[in-house]
């Protein structure tokens, strides 16, 4: 296992696949379909009784650390480099995505900056989470690396 982890460190945590296992990139493909279905189900009120449309719906997703990190990467459009800086939680650890005042999900509604730094969020990721706290659904954060022009500078 020590040798495999060293190979993974050199190759990159996102793309490395343990023997007979899957890479984070493989999980990303599966999470994409799950995320789209989950988002649609939330939007149409599938998790509520018929005729009841309350904004106070709680969902609990239980997963392994890799799946959680990939889910968040996909949800918030984090880069591979940002993903590779994230840490797993201890067994039984939890992370709360909670809607902010504009209706978007932010990790900073429930968690502190210190907790999210310990999880591995960078300053730009924290800035985006701060923006997510008040942003309205449908808005884009053009200052965040994956949405602004800085993400595509190699194409210019």
DSSP per-residue letters across 88-126: PPPTT-----EE-TTB-EETTTTS-HHHHHHHT--HHHH
Per-residue pLDDT of the chain in tens (156 residues, 90 and over written 9): 898 888 888 888 899 998 888 999 999 999 999 999 998 888 888 888 877 777 677 888 888 889 999 999 999 999 999 999 999 888 888 999 999 999 999 999 999 999 999 999 999 999 999 999 999 988 888 888 665 454 445 545
Q: Which of 60, 68, 76 shows the shortest CA–CA distance to 126?
A: 76
Taking CA atoms, 121 is separated from 13, 45, 68, in Å, by 16, 31, 14
The reported pLDDT for the residue numbered 152 is 46
- 2-35 in b/e burial notation, b at 16+ Cβ within 10 A? eeeeeebeeeebbebeeeeeebbeebbeebeeee
The reported pLDDT for the residue numbered 128 is 96
The reported pLDDT for the residue numbered 29 is 93
The reported pLDDT for the residue numbered 80 is 93
CA atoms within 13 A on the CB side of 125: 23
**Residue 133 and residue 101 in contact, taking contact as beta carbons nearer than 8 Å:** yes
pTM of the model: 0.83
The reported pLDDT for the residue numbered 135 is 95
The reported pLDDT for the residue numbered 56 is 73
Backbone angles phi, psi at 103, to 5 degrees: 105, -5
């Amino acid at each position: 296992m020590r040798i495999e982890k060293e190979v993974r460190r050199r190759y990159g945590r996102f793309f490395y696949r343990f023997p007979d296992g899957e890479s984070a990139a493989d999980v990303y493909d599966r999470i994409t379909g799950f995320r789209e279905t989950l988002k649609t189900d939330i939007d149409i009120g599938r998790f509520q009784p018929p005729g009841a449309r309350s904004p106070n719906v709680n969902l609990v997703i239980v997963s392994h650390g890799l799946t959680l990190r990939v889910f968040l990467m996909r949800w918030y459009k984090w880069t591979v480099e940002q993903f590779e800086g994230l840490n797993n939680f201890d067994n039984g650890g939890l992370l709360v995505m909670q809607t902010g005042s504009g209706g978007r999900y932010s990790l900073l509604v429930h968690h502190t900056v210190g907790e999210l730094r310990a999880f591995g969020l960078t300053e730009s990721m924290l800035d985006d989470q701060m923006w997510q706290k008040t942003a309205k659904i449908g808005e884009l954060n053009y200052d965040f690396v994956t949405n602004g022009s800085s993400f595509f500078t190699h194409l210019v």
